[in-house]
Amino acid sequence: ASPAGEMAVSSEKKVYEVVLKQAALVKRHLISIEKPDIVVPGNLLSEAYDRCGEVCAEYAKTFYLGTMLMTPDRRRAIWAIYVWCRRTDELVDGPNASHITPQALDRWEARLEDIFNGRPFDMLDAALSDTVSKFPVDIQPFRDMVEGMRMDLWKSRYNNFDELYLYCYYVAGTVGLMSVPIMGIAPESKATTESVYNAALALGIANQLTNILRDVGEDARRGRVYLPQDELAQAGLSDEDIFAGRVTDKWRIFMKKQIQRARKFFDEAEKGVTELSSASRWPVLASLLLYRKILDEIEANDYNNFTRRAYVSKPKKLLTLPIAYARSLV
């Protein structure tokens, strides 16, 4: 409870309320939630989607291949969402990140509102504006991702996992909530819509936790530590150990626990993949299996994520794709 006597609400509870809202939109089949039609010449809109596809192909090659199995409408919609998320992330991690201010993010969020109101600013915005007018996609996860970017401007430490969970939701779990209406739920699925959304959320959390564990050294060089401070202290570690880049037994024990947690989120996510529409399962499952392998590579590097970057080799990627495809058919 706070000093004012208010009960503290966990991050998972806050996020679950967003999940329930998104699931309700799909269950009620609200394809248009008071969204105006976007007026863009057909050929220009087609060019906009093609450009989104080119960006996706350049920066997310494996996932792009997976999207080619989707129906054309779903494929283009996923490209549009991917590009908006990438542009949002680039605001704080791209070449101009040092010049980004809270006011710049406020302007980006206002531009997001315009996208949902059918007033796109540029070609890439037009693709997303068209997408959100056709699918039961709500603006809240997009707003929350911008909030995650705001957090990156001022917060570089996380006291506990509850704080870190909320950050992971903002910057990655949101993508899962954005994507479910596009991916579609299989007509024969007996699972609740909420459980499918929860699985999508878990995949985003798992991916971001994996990013954090992979990039410990890189983040430390920027003065950032995306690890729960209380768990570091319990392990007998501190920020100084991370900045020094020491791989000790204490660090290995700490990392094993962090990897175990990430894998639990991947396991939770995998349960929901089978509930997606058949054409969407393969790219999602391939992404899940490939990202989970990064954790294996951290272990193979003897938990040295200070000076060695864990990555999945091309042969391993190629081997994973048919495995994911076969499992997506079951």
pLDDT of 265 > 90? The answer is: yes
pTM, two decimals, is 0.88
- Beta-bridge partners for 185: 276
Identity of the highest mean pLDDT range in 4-8, 23-27, 162-166: 162-166
**pLDDT tier, 32 (very low <50, low <70, confident <90, very high otherwise):** very low
| pLDDT tens by residue, 98-130 | 788 999 999 999 999 999 999 999 999 999 999
Domain that holds residue 247: 11-29+39-329
What does the pLDDT read at residue 7?
46
1 assigned to some structural domain: no
Counted domains in the chain: 1
23 assigned to some structural domain: yes
34 assigned to some structural domain: no
What does the pLDDT read at residue 35?
53
What does the pLDDT read at residue 38?
54
Of the listed ranges 37-51, 184-198, 257-271, the least confidently predicted one is 37-51
320 assigned to some structural domain: yes
CA atoms within 13 A on the CB side of 156: 12
What does the pLDDT read at residue 3?
44
Token pair belonging to 136: 């039961």
| pLDDT tens by residue, 309-322 | 998 888 988 888 88
Mean pLDDT of the chain: 89
**pLDDT tier, 56 (very low <50, low <70, confident <90, very high otherwise):** very high
**pLDDT tier, 94 (very low <50, low <70, confident <90, very high otherwise):** confident
**pLDDT tier, 31 (very low <50, low <70, confident <90, very high otherwise):** very low
pLDDT of 28 > 90? The answer is: no
What does the pLDDT read at residue 13?
87
pLDDT of 151 > 50? The answer is: yes
pLDDT of 148 > 90? The answer is: yes
How much of the chain exceeds pLDDT 70, in percent?
Answer: 92
What does the pLDDT read at residue 41?
56
**pLDDT tier, 269 (very low <50, low <70, confident <90, very high otherwise):** very high
Describe the crossing of helices 11-27 and 174-183 by its angle, rounded to 10 degrees.
20
CATH of residue 75's domain is 1.10.600.10
141 assigned to some structural domain: yes
| pLDDT tens by residue, 170-187 | 999 999 999 999 998 998
Token pair belonging to 294: 């990064």
2 assigned to some structural domain: no
- The more confident residue out of 86 and 36 is 86
3 assigned to some structural domain: no
The pLDDT of 139-153, averaged and rounded, is 94
pLDDT of 37 > 60? The answer is: no
315 assigned to some structural domain: yes
CA–CA gap between residue 223 and residue 217 (Å, rounded): 10
What does the pLDDT read at residue 170?
96
Of the listed ranges 139-153, 223-237, 242-256, 270-284, the least confidently predicted one is 270-284
pLDDT of 40 > 60? The answer is: no
